[in-house]
Structure 1
Amino acid sequence: MKKRILPILAYTVFVAVISALITTAWIHYLVRNQTSDDGQQVLTSLSADKLAKSPITDGEDIIEIFSYGCHYCALNEKNVEALEKRMPAGKKLVRLHFSLDNQGGLARFAPVFATLQVMGIEEAHRESAYDAVMKNHIDLGDPAKRDAWLAENKIDVDEYHKVSQSAEVKDLLDYMTRVSQYYDINATPTFIVGKKWVAIQDRDFPSFSDKLLSILKNDQAPEK
């Protein structure tokens, strides 16, 4: 009788352990890789190894990856400004333009952002850049059309050309490209939190701001 009980007991323990491991893995997957109702992954996190090699500069606690050609980025502008005002003391929110090596698609306007940023006037002209691309269909990636837009906005065209060739602009473009590629950004806006978390908007503001701030504070995915 004892010989029969031992195999049954061992099998029961085996099944219990396997079930626990499967449950733990499933919960881990759901928490760390949340998906929206349509199946789109809206929150992912970097592994420890990849996090250690992140190109993101220390002190950039929440990053919005956006594009002047992104309709939702333009709509969210006021919401992101409100989020910035809610950042905890000592924490920083920054905006980086989506950027690729070939500067195609939504990355086409990255050089304009980088140059205006180095000139210290990007924020003042951000709304105009959005309107130029999306409302007026002006290709700011085209030098002639860009220069006409610069002149219309009373931005010194000669100074713009000079700054656009500076090491500061080239470094910023390189940085934005490395971040966009390292985090496999394929949609805008995308938010990077604490270097580790990549979040796509899955709810309205200010609830989405609450989610980002919770991730930043607790370094873990909030409950859905």
Structure 2
Amino acid sequence: MKKRIFYVLMYTVFIAVISALITTAWFHAFVLNQTSEAGPQVLRSLSAEKQDKSPIADGDDIVEIFSYGCHFCEMNERNVAELKKRMPAGKKFIRLHLSLDSQAGLARYAPVFATLEAMGIESTYRQSAYNAVIKDKIDLGDPAKLDAWLEKNKINVAEYHKVSQSKEVKDRLDYMTRVTQYYNINATPTFIINKKWIAIQDRDFPAFADKLLSIMETGKAPE
């Protein structure tokens, strides 16, 4: 009996390791190695006119569009934290959740992000939200499942729902939706630099951070 349990555990671990390796290989093969000819453009820019009409607030020099359902966003948490530390004085790094009018797909969790942010606890529970959606396959867009997750994390359910209906949260959702749609964001993570440049990761960190900072400081695409 013990041997059977041991073999089952070993098999489970083996499958988990293989799945992780396949995911990482896919990321490097189809995301990091993208080119404008073979897939989505890894760097594009807005015209001066569109840049001037951008819905992004003044001073937001690098904006990351991410999602709780994005495995690559979760993988990059430490890298993004290091990028934020490297931001020059006076420059800002802002994180927004992908948001759409339909709140479908990866945008489904935008209300959770906006509410937790308004409560001042988003960064504290971000990893738990990632784990719930990506690893545990919990749909945080489902009210009942969301409540169970809130209770598990000892977040006041009544307070959460009260805040979720506030003007602050509704304004935040509207803002994130306008940014997502204006920049035609259809993949995460995506980075918007100086309101003009839209970059998809095409290399490992910290080289990708170097690229973003170079674009921000020079206003030009790297050669």
Equivalent residue number for residue 215 of structure 1: 215
Query: CA offsets per residue over residues 143-175 of structure 1, 9 Å max, x none?
Result: 000010001001000000000000000000000
State the AA in 2 paired with 1:43.
L
Q: Does 1:183 align with 2:187?
A: no
- Preserved contact between residue 35 and residue 43 of structure 1 (Cα < 8 Å): no
State the AA in 2 paired with 1:155.
I
Distance across 2 between alignment mates of 1:126 and 1:142 = 18
Distance across 2 between alignment mates of 1:127 and 1:35 = 31
Greater shift in the superposed pair: 39-48 or 183-192:
39-48
Equivalent residue number for residue 206 of structure 1: 206
Query: CA offsets per residue over residues 41-97 of structure 1, 9 Å max, x none?
Result: 100010011111100001111011000000000000110000000000000101100
Distance across 1 between alignment mates of 2:45 and 2:115 = 31
SS of alignment partner, residue 217 of structure 2: helix
Query: Which structure has the bigger radius of gyration?
Result: 1
Count of residues in Structure 1 that have an aligned counterpart in Structure 2: 190
- Preserved contact between residue 192 and residue 199 of structure 1 (Cα < 8 Å): yes
> Displacement, 1:35?
3.4
Equivalent residue number for residue 124 of structure 1: 124
**For 1:18-33, what aligned pairs fall within 5 Å after superposition?**
none
State the AA in 2 paired with 1:81.
A
State the AA in 1 paired with 2:97.
H
**For 1:76-115, what aligned pairs fall within 5 Å after superposition?**
76-115=76-115
> Displacement, 1:37?
7.0
Equivalent residue number for residue 67 of structure 2: 67
Distance across 2 between alignment mates of 1:153 and 1:160 = 12
Equivalent residue number for residue 26 of structure 1: none
- Preserved contact between residue 79 and residue 206 of structure 1 (Cα < 8 Å): yes
SS of alignment partner, residue 184 of structure 1: coil
SS of alignment partner, residue 56 of structure 1: coil
Distance across 2 between alignment mates of 1:37 and 1:222 = 18
Q: Does 1:44 align with 2:71?
A: no
Q: Which runs of 5+ in 2 are unaligned?
A: 1-33
State the AA in 2 paired with 1:80.
V
Distance across 1 between alignment mates of 2:121 and 2:39 = 39
Q: RMSD of aligned C-alpha atoms?
A: 1.1
Distance across 1 between alignment mates of 2:35 and 2:42 = 5
Q: Which runs of 5+ in 1 are unaligned?
A: 1-33
